[in-house]
């Protein structure tokens, strides 16, 4: 994590640290691009800001690019994405380099979201590891694999804060919390981009979806967002900013509107905030046809909206080809000037220069060798650390080796469904490990049967690629499963979602087990055997009944290539589960949105009674809170201390953690701070630090935290970031609910005036 530690320093001191070499490099790049642009026609410049797609199998919208080859040869394309083979990329690059007039190389993009050939757990799962070093290593390995096959640029990380599990894309996120999300965003950018972008083993990151894409109304994909500026700054923008500060080379605009203007044409967002306020100097790209979709938003014709987006600060147009197709019209009508296009074109050329493409257009197309074997063990580590143990009654887990197991469920013998969303390049699905084959390593006494289809809802089945007819007669499936259960010591039911039930365009109104699966589970529970529910899922699910009736619940998410081995390692105790939730699990859909950092309101829900905030038909707390997760050990928390240290201007806190069990454990110690009195309303608590510690059996450790005073601040209604003096609650614990807390008073002479830590520089809107 050396690089991460440096980020803060580097971003603060980048102007001072810029050495003569860097300046020379910058000058060389500028004069190279000046020279090149002086030779370019305006059509060629419009071409550079045009990104097209290639392989129809990976379309994420209704439109598809046409005539790609001839446009490339005419110098009218700047980049291509979804080219899946290295041979195709070489051919296409040759067209650009050898056939187009100026031979400007293309940039190749792809959604390398959680691995390329080797698939890690989905991002939501990986975030549950709370292991920044691991996350950085997975991004770095993904860059190594993808760049070896010509990918220069990944559309990742997705850093949208998500608080609505109905939205299918929570699977691609790091969950609900801005602090954790920011740290993960930094780790991923560092992992992808490495030390230098022109290193052939690195690729450029693209932070997405800027901004607020995770806050769509009703959890519906692509839907509108309406949010106060205050909340934006406090809770939703931090991860994007963290990724920009970590040096991300590009930013993708989101589909939704931000304060009434779609992000793709939002000058305030793309220019005032991103560039003027945050100092971003890379390039921006639209999402898939989000420029063209501005017409559906009702903003005008393709020519008008394309010009508007460009002027707002959007550099590259993904798939709509709006400026390219309407260039003459835009110029004639004065919608655009050549100077407008120059700004965007220069940014794309700069990115290509930084990626080393002008020096060698085939830099990442030389078939660099990749040691995939070592990535297989990384995939296993990642999957193990992502699994969250949600329940474990009477220590039913871990299982004895050679236990007599009934392995049941439509997801128990699949490799592909374990990959989750965005795994299109997973050539290694064939090498993937199903849960059945993982478990077979531990017991030969295994009866296996599917028990039910994933769903018996015909409409849903069509959307998620399930053939209900082929699943067999539901009653016979269940009775076969029940007989298997009766013959066994324990039932492992592998249920949940297949890969297509989460991800893009997969919003759901029902996030419990599908009724067909639930019927199966009820029948299994009725046998009286201990039922261990292993969940495969891309989102938090509603599991009240399951929590009440299953002996244990293991949330495996979509665990990737080594998922089957990792699940088996957890079930049989080879690995002591350590994952912690990064998104709250509601009891039912009616509780959404529910997240740990809610404000108390003037009528706090605890204790709940009439005329208080909350519901009269359901408990107010979630089923499983943010930060929650069990292990096979018992860790006690004691001796919590916290004080404000005026010398270092930080809150110093510590807690003693003791492993009282006979099994080594990795514990994620979490620190929360709540602003007890402030001039604005504040959340009851917010995550402000965490540490993962290993504890041997019986071992005690004192875990220290130091939280700089700047972390205690907030954005005022005038959008000034200030820290106010006064009382703060400091809490430490194993999750966001079970915390030991203490009160700290922050009041020193220097701080009597509010400290402006970052000032809002531009007028909003």
Least separation, in Å, of the C-beta of 612 and ligand NOJ? Answer: 39
User: Closest residue to ligand NOJ, Cβ-based?
Assistant: 155
Min separation Cβ 109 and ligand NOJ, Å: 8
Closest CA to 218 of 607, 559, 590: 590
150: closest CA among 83, 95, 212? 83
- Residue 120 lies near ligand NOJ (rule: CB under 6 A): no
Residue 631, CA distances (Å) to 310, 349, 494, 625, 661 in order: 51, 50, 20, 16, 11
Among 130, 288, 632, 760, binds ligand NOJ (CB under 6 A): 288
Catalytic residue among 131, 164, 287, 569: 287
Tell me, by CB under 6 A, how many residues bind ligand NOJ: 7
Phi, psi of 210 (to 5 degrees): -80, 110
Contact in structure between 152 and 109 (CB atoms under 8 Å)? yes
Give CB contacts under 8 A, 24+ apart, made by 86-91.
Answer: 86/149, 86/150, 86/365, 86/367, 88/54, 89/149, 89/150, 89/365, 90/150, 90/362, 90/365
- Our CB check for ligand NOJ shows the closer of 112 and 671 to be 112
Instruction: Pick the closer one to ligand NOJ by CB: 111 or 569.
Output: 111
Measured from the CB atom, the residue of 108 and 721 that comes closer to ligand NOJ is 108
Contact 72, 92 (CB under 8 A): yes
Site string for ligand NOJ, 180-209 (x = CB under 6 A): ----------------------------x-
Q: Which of residues 48-67 bind ligand NOJ (CB under 6 A)?
A: 60
State the nearest-atom distance from the C-beta of 560 to ligand NOJ, in Å.
19
The C-alpha angle with vertex 632 and arms to 534 and 164, in degrees rounded to 5, equals: 45
Contacts of ligand NOJ in 561-590 (CB under 6 A): none
Shortest distance (Å) from residue 665 CB to ligand NOJ? 37
Q: Supply the minimum distance, in Å, between the C-beta of residue 649 and ligand NOJ.
A: 40
Beta bridge partners of 665: 695
Residue whose entry in the numeric block shows the structure tokens 């959008």: 719
Residue closer to ligand NOJ, measured from CB, 54 or 353: 54
CA distances from 514 to 410, 457, 482, 508, 586 (A): 12, 8, 19, 11, 17
Closest contact distance (angstroms) between CB of 307 and ligand NOJ is 23
What is the distance between the alpha carbons of residues 385 and 528, in angstroms, rounded to a whole number? 31
Report how many helices (DSSP H) and strands (DSSP E) the chain contains, helices first. Answer: 24, 26
Q: How far apart are CA 352 and CA 529, in angstroms?
A: 61
Residues numbered 629-658 forming contacts with ligand NOJ, rule: CB under 6 A = none
- CB of residue 271 vs ligand NOJ: minimum separation in angstroms? 22
In whole angstroms, how close is the CB of 386 to ligand NOJ at the nearest point?
21
413 among known catalytic residues:
no
Q: Which is nearer to ligand NOJ, 214 or 622 (CB)?
A: 214
Closest C-alpha among 524, 511, 565 to residue 387:
565
Nearer of residues 111 and 257 to ligand NOJ, judged by Cβ: 111
Instruction: Single out the residue of 164, 176, 257, 287 in contact with ligand NOJ (rule: CB under 6 A).
Output: 287
- DSSP states along 147-172: HTTT--EE---B------TTSGGGGG
CA torsion, ordered 558, 560, 564, 570, to nearest 10 deg = -70
Rounded CA-CA distance 524/493 in Å is 9
Give the residue among 98, 176, 120, 224 at the shortest CA–CA distance from 585.
176
How far is 216 from 264, CA to CA, in rounded Å? 15
Residue 250 main-chain phi, psi, to 5 deg:
-150, 160
Least distance to ligand NOJ, CB of residue 58, Å: 7
Q: Give dist(CA 171, CA 184) in Å, integer.
A: 15
For residue 739, give every residue at least 6 positions away whose Cβ sits within 8 Å of its Cβ, in sequence order, or none. Answer: 670, 672, 685, 731, 732, 733
Residue 24, helix vs strand vs coil: helix
Could you say which residues in the range 95-114 bind ligand NOJ, by CB under 6 A? Answer: 111
Of 253 and 271, nearer to ligand NOJ (C-beta) is: 253
Binding mask 488-507 for ligand NOJ (x = CB under 6 A): ----------------x---
Q: Considering the complex, what minimum distance in angstroms separates the CB of residue 391 from ligand NOJ? A: 34
Distances (CA, A) of 690 to 382, 636, 644, 704: 19, 16, 18, 10
Least distance in angstroms from the C-beta of 277 to ligand NOJ: 24
Q: Nearest to residue 390, comparing CAs of 630, 621, 91, 151?
A: 630
Of 188 and 525, nearer to ligand NOJ (C-beta) is: 188
How far is 22 from 39, CA to CA, in rounded Å? 26
If the CB atoms of residues 179 and 213 are measured against ligand NOJ, the closer one turns out to be 213
Query: Between residues 62 and 753, which has the closer beta carbon with respect to ligand NOJ?
Result: 62
* Nearer of residues 169 and 587 to ligand NOJ, judged by Cβ: 169
- How many residues make up the chain in this entry? 765
Contact pattern from residue 138 through residue 167 relative to ligand NOJ, giving x for each residue in contact according to CB under 6 A and a dash for the rest? -----------------x------------
Q: Contact, 176 vs 162, CB < 8 A?
A: yes
Binding mask 15-54 for ligand NOJ (x = CB under 6 A): ----------------------------------------
Instruction: Point out which residues bind ligand NOJ (CB under 6 A).
Output: 60, 111, 155, 208, 287-288, 504
Which residues are designated catalytic? 287
């Amino acid at each position: 994590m050396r690089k991460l530690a440096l980020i803060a320093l580097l971003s603060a001191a980048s102007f001072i640290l810029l050495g003569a070499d860097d300046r020379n490099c910058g000058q060389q790049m500028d004069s190279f691009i000046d020279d090149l642009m002086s030779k370019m026609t305006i059509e060629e410049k419009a071409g550079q800001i045009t990104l097209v797609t290639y392989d129809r199998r990976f379309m994420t919208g209704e439109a598809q690019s046409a005539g790609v080859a001839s446009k490339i040869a005419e110098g009218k394309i700047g980049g291509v994405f979804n080219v899946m083979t290295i041979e195709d990329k070489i051919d296409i690059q040759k067209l650009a380099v050898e056939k187009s007039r100026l031979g400007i190389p293309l940039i190749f993009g792809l959604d390398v979201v959680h691995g390329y050939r080797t698939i890690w757990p989905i991002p939501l799962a990986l975030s549950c590891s709370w292991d920044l070093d691991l996350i950085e290593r997975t991004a770095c390995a993904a860059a190594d694999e993808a760049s070896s096959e010509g990918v220069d640029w990944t559309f990742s990380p997705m850093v949208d804060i998500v608080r609505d599990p109905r939205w299918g894309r929570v699977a691609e996120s790091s969950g609900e919390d801005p602090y954790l999300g920011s740290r993960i965003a930094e780790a991923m950018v560092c992992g992808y981009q490495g030390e230098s972008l022109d290193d052939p083993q690195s690729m450029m990151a693209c932070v997405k979806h800027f901004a607020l894409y995770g806050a769509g109304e009703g959890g519906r994909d692509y839907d509108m967002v309406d949010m106060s500026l205050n909340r934006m700054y406090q809770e939703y923008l931090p991860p994007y900013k963290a990724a920009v500060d970590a040096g991300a080379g590009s930013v993708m605009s989101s589909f939704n509107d931000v304060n009434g203007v779609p992000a793709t044409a939002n000058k305030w967002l793309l220019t005032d905030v991103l560039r003027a306020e945050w100092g971003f100097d890379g390039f921006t790209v639209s999402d898939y046809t989000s420029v063209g979709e501005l017409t559906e938003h009702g903003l005008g014709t393709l020519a008008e909206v394309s010009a508007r987006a460009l002027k707002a600060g959007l550099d590259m147009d993904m798939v709509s080809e709006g400026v390219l197709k309407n260039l003459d019209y835009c110029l004639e009508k004065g919608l655009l000037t050549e100077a407008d296009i120059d700004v965007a074109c220069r940014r794309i050329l700069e990115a290509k220069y930084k990626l080393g493409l002008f020096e060698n257009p085939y830099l990442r197309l030389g078939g660099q060798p990749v040691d995939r074997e070592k990535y297989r063990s990384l995939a296993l580590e990642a999957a193990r650390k992502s699994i969250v143990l949600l329940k474990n009654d009477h220590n039913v887990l871990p299982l004895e080796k050679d236990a007599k197991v009934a392995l049941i469920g439509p997801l128990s013998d699949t490799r592909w469904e374990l990959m989750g969303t965005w795994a299109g390049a997973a050539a290694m699905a064939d090498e993937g490990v199903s849960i059945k084959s993982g478990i077979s390593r531990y017991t030969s006494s295994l009866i296996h049967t599917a028990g039910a289809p994933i769903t018996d809802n015909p409409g849903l089945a069509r959307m998620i690629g399930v053939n209900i007819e082929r699943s067999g007669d539901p009653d016979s499936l269940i009775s076969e499963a029940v007989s298997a259960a009766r013959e066994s010591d324990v039932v492992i039911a592998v249920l949940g979602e297949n890969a297509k039930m989460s991800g893009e365009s997969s919003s759901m109104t029902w996030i419990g087990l599908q009724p067909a699966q639930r019927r199966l589970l009820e029948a299994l529970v009725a046998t009286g055997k201990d039922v261990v529910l292993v969940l495969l899922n891309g989102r938090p699910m509603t599991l009240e009944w399951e929590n009440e009736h299953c002996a244990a619940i293991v949330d495996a998410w979509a665990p990737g290539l080594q998922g089957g081995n990792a699940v088996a390692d957890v079930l049989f105790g080879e690995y002591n589960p350590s994952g912690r939730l990064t998104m709250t699990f509601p009891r039912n859909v009616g509780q959404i949105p529910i997240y740990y950092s809610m404000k108390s309101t003037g009528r706090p829900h605890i204790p709940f009674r009439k005329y208080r905030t909350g519901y009269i038909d359901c408990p107010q707390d979630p089923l499983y809170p943010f930060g929650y997760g069990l292990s096979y050990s018992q860790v006690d928390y004691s001796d919590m201390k916290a004080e404000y240290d005026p010398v270092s201007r930080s809150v110093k806190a510590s807690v003693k953690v003791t492993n009282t069990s006979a099994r080594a454990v990795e514990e994620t110690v979490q620190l929360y701070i709540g602003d007890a009195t402030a001039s604005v309303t504040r959340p009851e608590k917010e995550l402000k630090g965490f540490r993962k510690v290993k504890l041997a059996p019986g071992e005690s450790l004192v875990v220290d935290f130091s939280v700089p005073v700047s972390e205690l601040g907030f954005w005022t209604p005038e959008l000034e970031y200030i820290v106010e003096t006064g009382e703060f609650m400091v809490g430490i614990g194993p999750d966001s609910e079970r915390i030991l807390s203490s009160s700290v008073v922050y009041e020193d002479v220097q701080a009597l005036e509010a400290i402006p830590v970052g000032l809002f520089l531009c007028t909003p809107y």
